[in-house]
Amino acid sequence: MKREDLLALLSDMSLEEKIMQLVQVPGQTYEESAAVTGLADMEKAEKSKYLAGSVLGLHGADKIIAIQKDYMQKHPHHIPLLFMLDVIHGHDTVFPCPLAQGATFDPEISRKAAEVQAKEASADGVQVTFSPMADLVRDARWGRVVESTGEDPYLNGLMAAAMVKGYQGDSIADKDHVAACVKHFAAYGAAEAGRDYNNCELSEHTLRDQYLHGYRRPISEGARLVMTSFNPLNGIPSSGNKWLMRDILRKEMGFNGVLISDWGAIGEMVDWGFAEDLKDAAKLAMDAGVDIDMCADSYSDYLDSLIKEGNVKEELLDEAVLRVLELKNDLGLFEDPYHGASAERYKEVSFSPESRELALDAVRKSLVLLENRNNALPLNSKSIALIGPYVDEKNTQSSWAITCDADKNVTLRTAFEEAFKETDTKIKYSAGCTLLDNDSDLGFTTYHSDTFDEDNDRLLAEALEIANSADTVVLCLGESAFQSGESTSKTRITLPEVQLRLFNEICAKGKKLITLIFTGRPLELNEIADKSDAVLICWRPGTESGHGICDVVTGKVSPQGKLPMSFPWYVGQEPLYYNRFNTGRPKPVEGDTIFTTRYLDCPNEARYPFGYGLTYSDFEISEVVLDKEKLTKSNPDDKITATVKVSNVGDKCATQTVQLYIRDMVGSTVRPIKELKGFKKITLKPGESAEISFAITDDMLKFWTAANIYDSEPGKFSVFVGFDSATENSQEFELLD
C-alpha cells in the first residue's frame, strides 16, 4: 500500500478503531472463550478480539490463518492483525542462549541463527519477535543475564545488530523474515541488587556512556520496534519517560519505528506510584510516545475519554497509529495478511539439517574452558563414568525457548553413546542426584538443606559405584532451565546443595575429574574449579547440546569460547565488570596495605574475567607494536595500526580470540581501566604464527564527555592487545588536536 493510501485509511478510521490499533492482547483472547459475566464484558471481549491491533503469544500456521481470516472479515476496515512472539534463541531449532552467543565473540553466528529463527517462526505465523535484548548486564544475581550477550557495550551492540540483520534480512516483507524488537529500553540490566523489576539509578553520564551503547547499533541497523523496560530510571518509569523516549530514543538515536511497552508496564506505573490510575498511566505513556500498550487495559479503556476531554491530542494518537499501520504495511500484510505462514512450509523449513549444523557450530564455539590442569581435556581414557543430573537432561535450553520442544535436544548420554559406539572405551552412566535440592515443580530451590531424600541417597550410591570402576569421571552439573530468565534473581549463585554433595563425594574418589556446568549466569565455582582437573562452561546450549559438548570434550574441536561476563569469586563482588574505574587507591602502598580499595576476604578482580577462556593449545603473543605514536583528531582519515604476533606454541590446532582494549588515561570524566574496542579470531596449527593488526581511529576514542557530548579528547591513551580483559600487554599513544 502506498503512503497516501495509508493516510487515507487512517483518516477514514473511527476513534475507537484507531485506539485499538495501539492495543495488544494476549493470545488467550483468540484461544479461549472469554469468561464473560455480563453484556458489558461481552462487548469488551468482542472489541478486544476484533479491533485489537496486535496479539502476543500465538503461533501455528493453521491457527493463525484461521484467526486472521475471521478477524479481517469482522474488522470494519479489514486491517490485518499483527502476530508477535518472543523468539529469543530458537523457534524450533534451539541455538545456544544469548549469553552463550556472546561467548562466541562471533556476530556472524548470531546473524545466521536469527535468520533461521525468522524463517521457522515466520512460516509458523509469527511476524514480529521480541528480540534482541541489548541490555548491558553487570550483575550475575539478575536472572535475565541469560538473555543478554553480556557485560560489554561494544560486544552487545555488535551481537544485537547482527541479530536484527538476521531477523529482518533485506526486507521484512520477505516471508522468510520477521520484524525485530530491541529491548528493554532502557537500562533494565541495572536493576538494583540484581532483583528483577527493581529500580535503576544511573547518572546520565553512565547511562549514555555505558548503558545506551548496546541499543544504538541494533537501532541503527533498522530494528523496526523497541520495547520499554519495566524499571524506572532515576525515578521515572520508562513507559512514562518522555525525555528517554522522545528526546533520546527518537530524536537522538533517530528511531522512527514502533515503540511497544513491556507486558503491562504502562499499568505498572500505578503500582510504582507514578500514575494515579490507569487513565493517568495511559496519558503519561502517550505523552512519552509509547505506541502499543502490551497487555494492560490503559489505552483500550481510557484513551477515548482522554482524547475527548482534550487531555491527549488526537494528533498524538494518529502519529502512533500511523507507525503501527506502517509496520503492517512494510511487513506486506495488506497484500498477504499471513506473511507466508503455512503448515507445509513450516514442516519444510523447521529443524532442517542445515539449521542443526549451524546450531552445532554455535554450541562448539560457545563453550568456555575455565580450567584444564595437566591437559585433562580432551578426554583420553578407556574407562569413563558420565555422572550427573545433566547426563540425561533434555531441557538444556533456557526458559525463553518457549515454542521449542526440549525433548528434541540431544542429551549428553546420546552423544557419548554415538561417539564411542565403535571404540573400546567403556562408558557408564548415572544421574548421581536430582537437578534440584527438592523436587518442587518450578525449580525454586531450597538451598543449604542437609537432608537429602532416599532417592538422592540411592542415586549417589549408584554414581559412586560406577566412578569406582572408571579412571575418568565427567560430571555434568548445573542450574535448571528455570533458575535463570525472567523473575529468577538469586542471592546465592552456587549450584544446588544436592549437586555439591555429589561433587564432593566424587572428588573423594580421586579420579580424573572433568566438570561440565550448564548455566544461564556466572556462578561461584571456587570449590569446583579448585578440585576439578578441567571445567567447561556449557551455558544453555539447546538442540545440539550433547553433540557440541561431546565434540569439544573428546577433542574433535578445540574450545574457543570467551566469557561474555565476569565470573566472581563470591557473589558479594556483584555487580562485577571488567570495565570498571581505577579508584584513587588502586594498589596497596608498600608497608601500608590497609587503606586501599579492596575486600578483606577476596580479590577485587573476577575469578575468571571477561574475555577469558582456554583452548587445547598454548598461545603466545608478542609485545604490541604501533606504526606511530600520535593520532591527529582533525584528520578524519588518520589511524594508528597496532600489531601483535600470535603463535600457537602448543600441540593442537586451535582458535584464539585476540582482543583489543583501550584506556583513555585522562578524561573530562573518569574513564574505565579498559574498554573492548575490537577483536579478531585466528585459527592456528601447532607451530604456526600470524600477525594480527587493528586500526585505531579517533572514533574508537569517543565517549560521553563532561560537556555531555560524544567526542574524543586529546591526550594519552593505552592500547592493550591480549587473550582476555586482564591482559597487561600494552603500548601508549597520544591523540593530538
Q: Which of 135, 262, 280, 698 binds ligand BGC (CB under 6 A)?
A: 262
- How far is 618 from 480, CA to CA, in rounded Å? 33
Least distance in angstroms from the C-beta of 39 to ligand BGC: 31
- How far is 259 from 256, CA to CA, in rounded Å? 9
- Beta carbon nearer to ligand BGC, 130 or 733: 130
- How far is 150 from 413, CA to CA, in rounded Å? 30
Contact predicate 110/366, CB 8 Å:
no
Q: Which of 89, 165, 183, 216 binds ligand BGC (CB under 6 A)?
A: 183
- Helix 278-288 to helix 298-308 angle (10° resolution) is 80
- How far is 428 from 407, CA to CA, in rounded Å? 22
- Beta carbon nearer to ligand BGC, 230 or 416: 230
* Choice among 86, 209, 262, 533 that is catalytic: 262
List, in sequence order, every residue forming a beta bridge with 458; answer none if it has no partner. Answer: none
HSE of 560, CA atoms in CB hemisphere, 13 A: 26
Least distance in angstroms from the C-beta of 260 to ligand BGC: 9
- How far is 654 from 614, CA to CA, in rounded Å? 10
- Beta carbon nearer to ligand BGC, 130 or 346: 130
3-state secondary structure of 305: helix
Least distance in angstroms from the C-beta of 56 to ligand BGC: 6
In the bound state, the residue with its beta carbon closest to ligand BGC is 130
- Beta carbon nearer to ligand BGC, 224 or 677: 224
- How far is 166 from 160, CA to CA, in rounded Å? 10
Sole residue written with cell 600477525: 691
- Does position 263 interact with ligand BGC (CB under 6 A)? The reply is yes
Residue 374 corresponds to which cell in the numbers above?
595437566
- Does position 215 interact with ligand BGC (CB under 6 A)? The reply is no
State yes or no: is 262 an active-site residue. yes
DSSP calls for 338-387: TTT--HHHHHHHTT-HHHHHHHHHHHHHH-EEEEEGGG--S---SEEEEE
- Does position 196 interact with ligand BGC (CB under 6 A)? The reply is no
- Does position 174 interact with ligand BGC (CB under 6 A)? The reply is no
Q: Please, which of residues 468-487 interact with ligand BGC by CB under 6 A?
A: 486
Enumerate helices (H) and strands (E) in the chain, giving the number of each: 22, 27
List, in sequence order, every residue forming a beta bridge with 474; answer none if it has no partner. Answer: 386, 514
Burial 59-76 (b: 16+ CB within 10 A, else e): bbbebbbebbeebbeebe
Least distance in angstroms from the C-beta of 227 to ligand BGC: 6
Least distance in angstroms from the C-beta of 88 to ligand BGC: 8
- Beta carbon nearer to ligand BGC, 86 or 544: 86
Q: Which of 17, 86, 524, 574 binds ligand BGC (CB under 6 A)?
A: 86
Query: How far is C-alpha 434 from the geometric centre of its chain's CA atoms?
Result: 28
Least distance in angstroms from the C-beta of 110 to ligand BGC: 18
- Beta carbon nearer to ligand BGC, 56 or 538: 56
Q: Please, which of residues 32-61 interact with ligand BGC by CB under 6 A?
A: 56
- Beta carbon nearer to ligand BGC, 60 or 555: 60
Least distance in angstroms from the C-beta of 562 to ligand BGC: 26
DSSP state of 90: B
- Beta carbon nearer to ligand BGC, 130 or 518: 130
- Does position 578 interact with ligand BGC (CB under 6 A)? The reply is no
Q: Which of 130, 299, 610, 720 binds ligand BGC (CB under 6 A)?
A: 130
List, in sequence order, every residue forming a beta bridge with 505; answer none if it has no partner. Answer: none
Size of the site for ligand BGC (CB under 6 A): 7
Least distance in angstroms from the C-beta of 182 to ligand BGC: 11
Contact predicate 524/330, CB 8 Å:
no
Going from the C-alpha of 471 to that of each of 286, 377, 431, 433, 468, the distances in angstroms are 66, 13, 18, 20, 8
Binding site for ligand BGC (CB under 6 A): 56, 86, 130, 183, 262-263, 486
Would you please indicate which residues are annotated as catalytic (active-site) residues?
Answer: 262
